[in-house]
Amino acid sequence: MDMPVIITIGNHKGGVGKTTSTVNLSDALGREGYNVLVIDADPQGNSTSILLPDIELRERFSLVKALAAPIREGRMTSMACQTLNPRVDVVPNTIQCMVWERSASTTADSVLGFQRLIRNDKGLDKYQYVLIDTPPNIGTMVHNALMISDYVIVPIPTSDQFALDGLATFLKLIQTIRTQNEKLKLLGILLTKFDNRADVYVKNREKMIQFFNTKKIFVFDTTIRFSVDIDKAHIKRKTIFGFDMDSPGAIDYRNLAREVVTIVRNAAQIQR
C-alpha cells in the first residue's frame, strides 16, 4: 500500500493559525491536483465546521456515534466526507471526541492503536497528503498525530510578541517523539498573521527568522499575511479559496502548498 505524506499542523498555543493553515493548505493542495485527507483531531472541530459547513452540529454528533465501529475496525477513511473541493476529504470531529481523548489517555496502548488504525487502512492509498489539525496542547491527540506523521508544520503568528515563549516545550516534544518515530521531521516554521504595514510586525518577523536561523530551524519562505478576508471566510465557514481566490490569503496559501510539495519531493529524492 502506498502511504501518503502525513503532516501534523501543531503548536501547543491557541490562536496561532493551526486550523486556518490546515483547511487552506488542504484546499490549495487539492487545487494543485493532489488528493488530500484532513483529519480533524481538535475536539473543537473547527476544521470540520469550515470544510463541512452544511452539516448541522446535531448531525455531527450522530455521525461520530454511527462511525465509531469503522474506527475500531481499522477503517478510518470510511469516515471521510467529501468537501466542496472534490480532491479534499475530511474525517470530522465533534466535542464528543474530548470524551474519547480522556478515556484513551488512560489506555497504555492508545498510541499504538492509533498507529495501527492508520497503517491498516487501505483507503489511505487514494491520497497523496494527509493533514492533521491538532488541539492547542500536548495531550494524547497530539502525541498520536506526531507518532504517525512524517512531518510537522508549526504556525507562529508574527503579531504575538510572546509567540516564542514556551515554543521550546513543543519542539522538545517533537524530539521526544522522534525517539519512537524516527521518520518524523520538522518541515518548517510557518509565520502567520503578518502585516507589512505595521513596523512592530516587520521587526517581530525579522527577530523570529533570526532566532530560528541561529537554531538551524527552517522557516518557510512563504509568510501568511494578515487578511481580513481570511476572517470573513471563517465566519462564512469557507476556505479562503471559497471566499476570494484572488485575495492575499489565497495567494499565500497557494505559494505555501507549492513550497511544501517542493520540499517533500526533494526530501523523497534524497532518501532514494
Reported in sequence order, the residue ranges of the chain that DSSP labels E, i.e. its strands, are 5-9, 36-40, 81-82, 88-91, 129-133, 151-157, 185-192
User: Each residue of 178-231: pLDDT tens digit?
Assistant: 999 999 999 999 999 999 888 888 999 999 999 999 999 999 999 999 999 999
Q: Name the residue among 68, 84, 16, 38 with its Cα closest to residue 242.
A: 84
Give yes or no for residue 272 having a pLDDT over 60. no
Greatest mean pLDDT range, 74-83, 176-185, 251-260: 251-260
Helix and strand tally (H, E) in the chain?
12, 7
- Residues 72, 104, 88, 8: is their CA dihedral positive or negative? negative
Q: Rounded distance, CA 217 to CA 44, Å?
A: 30
- 8 Å CB contact between 30 and 80: no
User: Domain 5-271 is in which class?
Assistant: alpha beta
Q: Which of 97-111, 124-138, 149-163, 171-185 has the lowest mean pLDDT?
A: 97-111
More confident residue, 147 or 271: 147
User: Each residue of 88-120: pLDDT tens digit?
Assistant: 999 887 533 544 454 455 444 556 666 766 767
Buried b (16+ CB within 10 A) or exposed e, 39-70: bbbbbbbbbbbbbbeeeeeeebeebbeebeee
- 8 Å CB contact between 66 and 27: no
Q: What percent of the chain has pLDDT over 70?
A: 81
What's residue 268's pLDDT?
Answer: 76
User: Each residue of 4-21: pLDDT tens digit?
Assistant: 999 999 998 888 999 999
Largest CA distance in the chain: 54
Domain borders along the chain are: 5-271
Q: What is the pTM of this model?
A: 0.89
